[in-house]
Structure 1
Amino acid sequence: MLIAAALGALLPIPAEAHVKWFAPYIVGAPPAPISRTLADAWFWTAILLVLAFFVATRLVEKSIIGEGVLAAMDRLTDPLWRRLDDFVRVVVGGFFVAIFAVGGVYLTPDLKTPAEWVSWVQFVIALGIFSRRTMPVSAAGIVFLWLLALRDYDFFHLLDYLALGLGVAGYLVLAASEDFERRKYRFEVLRVGVSIALMWSSLEKFAYPDWFYPLVVEKPFLTFGMPRDVFIPMAGVAEFTMGFGLLWTPLVRRLSAVALFVIFNAAVYPFGRTDLVGHALIMAIIVAIAADHTRQLHFLPAIKRSLAGVPAGLATALVLFTTGYWGLHIAFYGIDGQAGARPMEMATHTYSPEHPHGPKAAESLAAGELHQGMAMPAAALSEQPTTGEAAAAFETTMAAMHGPMMAGMRHPDPDIAFVLGMIPHHQGAIDMARVQLRYGRDPANRAFAEHLIAEQQGEIDAMRDWLRRNGIEPPSSAGDAK
Structure 2
Amino acid sequence: MGIDFRPFKTFFTVPKVGSPARLPQHADLTKIKHSVRKLAIVKIADPDYSDALAPVLGCHIDRTKTMRSALRAGWLTPAFILLAGADPASAHVKWFAPYIVGAPPQPIGATLTNTWFWLGIALVLVFFLATRAVEKSPAGETILRGLDRMTDPIWNRMDDFVRAVVGAFFIAIFAVGGVYLTPDLKTPSEMVSWGQLLIAMLIFFRATQPLAALGIVILWLLALRDYDIFHLLDYLALGPGVAAYLVMEASSNEELRKHRFQALRWGVAIALMWSSLEKFAYPDWFYPLVEEKPFLTFGLPRDVFIPMAGVSEFTMGFGLLWTPMVRRLSAIALFVIFNAAVYPFGRIDLIGHALIMAVIVAIAADHTRDVFFVPNFKKMMAGVPIGIAAALVIFVSSYWGLHVALYGSEGDMSAAVHRTTHSPDPEHPHPTDAADAGTPVEHDDHGEPDHKH
TM-score by length of 2: 0.79
Aligned residue type for 1:53? F
Q: Is the Cα contact below 8 Å between 1:253 and 1:290 reproduced in 2?
A: yes
Distance across 2 between alignment mates of 1:119 and 1:220: 35
Q: How does 1:146-157 map to 2 (within 5 A)?
A: 146-157=220-231
Q: Is the Cα contact below 8 Å between 1:163 and 1:193 reproduced in 2?
A: yes
Distance across 2 between alignment mates of 1:51 and 1:75: 28
Q: Is the Cα contact below 8 Å between 1:88 and 1:284 reproduced in 2?
A: yes
Q: 1:361 to 1:197 in 2, by over 3 A?
A: closer
- Give the corresponding residue for 1:42: 116
List per-residue Cα deviations over 1:138-163 (Å, max 9, x = no partner): 00100100100122112211111134
Distance across 1 between alignment mates of 2:446 and 2:187: 34
Query: Could you tell me which of 435, 447, 468 is aligned with 2:452?
Result: 435
Q: 1:377 to 1:120 in 2, by over 3 A?
A: farther
Q: How does 1:103-252 map to 2 (within 5 A)?
A: 103-252=177-326
Q: 1:204 to 1:360 in 2, by over 3 A?
A: closer
Aligned residue type for 1:138? A
Report the secondary structure of 1:298's partner residue: coil
Query: Does residue 312 of structure 1 match 2:386?
Result: yes
Displacement of 1:351 after TM fit?
A: 3.1
- Give the corresponding residue for 1:400: none
Q: 1:20 to 1:368 in 2, by over 3 A?
A: closer
Distance across 1 between alignment mates of 2:434 and 2:380: 51
Query: Does residue 357 of structure 1 match 2:447?
Result: no
Q: Is the Cα contact below 8 Å between 1:10 and 1:238 reproduced in 2?
A: no
Q: Is the Cα contact below 8 Å between 1:107 and 1:145 reproduced in 2?
A: yes
Displacement of 1:273 after TM fit?
A: 1.0
Distance across 2 between alignment mates of 1:379 and 1:224: 28
Aligned residue type for 2:363? I
Aligned residue type for 1:22? F
Aligned residue type for 1:302? N
Q: 1:41 to 1:172 in 2, by over 3 A?
A: same
Displacement of 1:7 after TM fit?
A: 8.1
Report the secondary structure of 2:415's partner residue: coil
Query: Could you tell me which of 363, 368, 387 is aligned with 1:294?
Result: 368
Distance across 2 between alignment mates of 1:163 and 1:90: 16
Query: Does residue 340 of structure 1 match 2:340?
Result: no
Displacement of 1:369 after TM fit?
A: 3.7
Q: Is the Cα contact below 8 Å between 1:369 and 1:375 reproduced in 2?
A: no
Distance across 1 between alignment mates of 2:190 and 2:329: 41
- For these two proteins, the number of residue pairs brought into alignment is 375
List per-residue Cα deviations over 1:277-331 (Å, max 9, x = no partner): 1111111110111001111112100011000000000000000000000000000
Q: 1:376 to 1:62 in 2, by over 3 A?
A: farther
Aligned residue type for 1:352? D
List per-residue Cα deviations over 1:183-227 (Å, max 9, x = no partner): 110011100000000000000000000000110111111101111
Aligned residue type for 2:430? H
List per-residue Cα deviations over 1:398-426 (Å, max 9, x = no partner): xxxxxxxxxxxxxxxxxxxxxxxxxxxxx
Aligned residue type for 1:226? L
Distance across 1 between alignment mates of 2:180 and 2:336: 27
Distance across 2 between alignment mates of 1:25 and 1:107: 19
- Give the corresponding residue for 1:270: 344
Query: Does residue 62 of structure 1 match 2:79?
Result: no
List per-residue Cα deviations over 1:47-87 (Å, max 9, x = no partner): 00001000000000000111111000000001110000000
Distance across 1 between alignment mates of 2:444 and 2:372: 55
Q: 1:163 to 1:363 in 2, by over 3 A?
A: closer
Displacement of 1:362 after TM fit?
A: 8.6
Q: 1:153 to 1:111 in 2, by over 3 A?
A: same
Q: 1:15 to 1:96 in 2, by over 3 A?
A: farther
Report the secondary structure of 2:236's partner residue: helix
List per-residue Cα deviations over 1:407-451 (Å, max 9, x = no partner): xxxxxxxxxxxxxxxxxxxxxxxxxxx521xxxxxxxxxxxxxxx
Distance across 1 between alignment mates of 2:239 and 2:322: 21
Q: Is the Cα contact below 8 Å between 1:14 and 1:264 reproduced in 2?
A: no
Q: Is the Cα contact below 8 Å between 1:11 and 1:238 reproduced in 2?
A: no
Aligned residue type for 1:167? G
Q: Unmatched 5+ residue regions in structure 2?
A: 1-78
- Give the corresponding residue for 1:283: 357
Report the secondary structure of 1:151's partner residue: helix
Q: Is the Cα contact below 8 Å between 1:171 and 1:186 reproduced in 2?
A: yes
Q: Is the Cα contact below 8 Å between 2:128 and 2:326 reproduced in 1?
A: yes
Q: Unmatched 5+ residue regions in structure 1?
A: 382-433, 437-482
Q: How does 1:311-330 map to 2 (within 5 A)?
A: 311-330=385-404
Aligned residue type for 1:356? P
List per-residue Cα deviations over 1:214-263 (Å, max 9, x = no partner): 10111111101111110000000000000000000000000000000000
Q: Is the Cα contact below 8 Å between 2:420 and 2:433 reproduced in 1?
A: no
Q: Is the Cα contact below 8 Å between 2:420 and 2:434 reproduced in 1?
A: no
RMSD: 2.2
Displacement of 1:20 after TM fit?
A: 1.0
Distance across 2 between alignment mates of 1:173 and 1:29: 37
TM-score by length of 1: 0.74
> Percent same amino acid among aligned pairs?
67
Displacement of 1:341 after TM fit?
A: 2.6
Distance across 2 between alignment mates of 1:116 and 1:144: 15
Q: Is the Cα contact below 8 Å between 2:91 and 2:345 reproduced in 1?
A: no
Distance across 2 between alignment mates of 1:376 and 1:345: 29
Q: 1:100 to 1:296 in 2, by over 3 A?
A: same
Distance across 1 between alignment mates of 2:414 and 2:338: 34
The structure richer in helix per residue is: 1
Q: 1:380 to 1:69 in 2, by over 3 A?
A: closer
Report the secondary structure of 2:411's partner residue: coil
Distance across 1 between alignment mates of 2:436 and 2:353: 30
Report the secondary structure of 2:413's partner residue: coil
